[in-house]
Amino acid sequence: MIQLIRGFKDILPGEVERWQQIEKIAASRFEDFGFKEIRIPMMERTELFARSIGEDTDIVEKEMYTFPDRKGDLITLRPEATASVVRSYVQHKMFAKDPVQKFYTIGPMFRRERPQKGRYRQFYQINVEVFGVASPLIDVQLIFMLVTLFTRLAVADLKAHINSLGCPACRPNYRAALSKFLAAISNKLCSDCRRRRRRNPLRVLDCKVPSCREVLAEAPSIIDYLCDYCQEDFAKVQEFLKKLQIPFLVDKRLVRGLDYYTRTTFEIQTGSLGAQSAVAGGGRYDGLVKMLGGPDLPATGFAIGLDRLAEVAEIRHSEFIRMPDLFVAALGEQSQDKAFEWICQFGRQGLVAEMDFEDRSLKSQMKRADKIGATHVLIVGDQELQEGAVILRNMLTKEQTLIPIKEVVDRVKTYIKREAQ
């Protein structure tokens, strides 16, 4: 038997409805806040990710699915969506019409990480990006939108972790202080970090190796090095999070070690996830639009890990699993033919209707109706056809109603819809 690739997974019916429901609620929440959907390709030129994510990151160094296509061009299965959304914003000169653009996108990402619970090689993200707004209030709005969405999806034990990464004016001082600290502890760092320490010391703070994380707990905090402007900006973020009653924690370990990331960065964590506690992460990346060939415009955004969200969203099954509204139990060839026409008509009218195609006994058809959870059964046989009326049975109350065959589709529909109210 051929099995799926390690780190990949199927999302089966029963589970997929939960995903659909989350996607639907998220999309409608984002649209309420003025976001529009954008769809971007699953593959891009490798260069796009190498340049935007950064050459000496875990993702680019060892996690990308990169291969030459038949002509030898290097292409990569996207490990994240931001780079593609920025590329699209720049390529289509969307900024010319209005620099302020707000997008969301949902889809799979690919990273060749070590698979474990909550970490897959193909995983799904819901991404949100805002272009052209420099105010820290938009970062607050993103965090607010995330937290309210997660609350709506009944995710327990939520906390927003926030930090500021400063700006090109204040970061060099911090970089110098951090370099000094890293030089002193360099023998305790992993080999990747020893190399990164010289090329991009901020990167070291991103390392996932536990021994590195331990020694880095003592690293200087960027908060102590922020310039006046960045301090004010970060204070405003905190002031408005408090105003909007969003619980948060200033977390100096939260960094994205890339030069184009600026000021606010955040992660939403939940206690229900165990080790992989981050269910969403994001922040400001003011330098990226320019870096990818566009004008110097600010940008900010976040990514939700949909796999992890589906695991912790406590929305009830009854909210999204659709049971069949109707099972048509048909006895005899003529009734079967009629039943088939009806289930097609019911489907067109928005009722989920099933039947048995094997012409089994009434008893076994009723059993099947019960097994698939049909709320109603329509019983039709030769006698009913002759008399011009069929029996509609409510499986819960056992109530039976006679329905004239001539108007069966309309009458059953009205009956079931009225009961559902």
> Would you tell me which residues interact with ligand AMP (CB under 6 A)?
80, 111, 113, 118-120, 123, 125, 278-281, 303, 305, 307-308
Closer of 16 and 183 to ligand AMP (Cβ): 16
Closer of 17 and 113 to ligand AMP (Cβ): 113
The strand pair at 376-380 and 262-270 is best described as unpaired
Q: How far is the CB of 279 from ligand AMP (least distance, A)?
A: 5
- How many residues would you count in the chain? 421
Q: Residue 84's closest CA among 36, 62, 51?
A: 51
Q: Residue 253's closest CA among 319, 189, 165?
A: 165
Distances (CA, A) of 133 to 98, 144, 414: 11, 16, 50
Q: How far is the CB of 363 from ligand AMP (least distance, A)?
A: 47
Closer of 120 and 327 to ligand AMP (Cβ): 120
Q: Is 346 exposed, middle or buried (0-12, 13-18, 19+ CB in 10 A)?
A: buried
Q: Do 402 and 387 touch, CB atoms closer than 8 A?
A: no
Closer of 111 and 368 to ligand AMP (Cβ): 111
Q: How far is the CB of 314 from ligand AMP (least distance, A)?
A: 17
| Rounded Cα gap, residues 336 and 332, in angstroms | 6
| Rounded Cα gap, residues 219 and 205, in angstroms | 9
Q: How far is the CB of 217 from ligand AMP (least distance, A)?
A: 21
Closer of 17 and 63 to ligand AMP (Cβ): 63
DSSP 54-101: -TTSHIIIII-EEEE-TTS-EEEE-S-SHHHHHHHHHHTTHHHH-S-E
Q: How far is the CB of 321 from ligand AMP (least distance, A)?
A: 24
Q: How far is the CB of 238 from ligand AMP (least distance, A)?
A: 22
Closer of 21 and 127 to ligand AMP (Cβ): 127
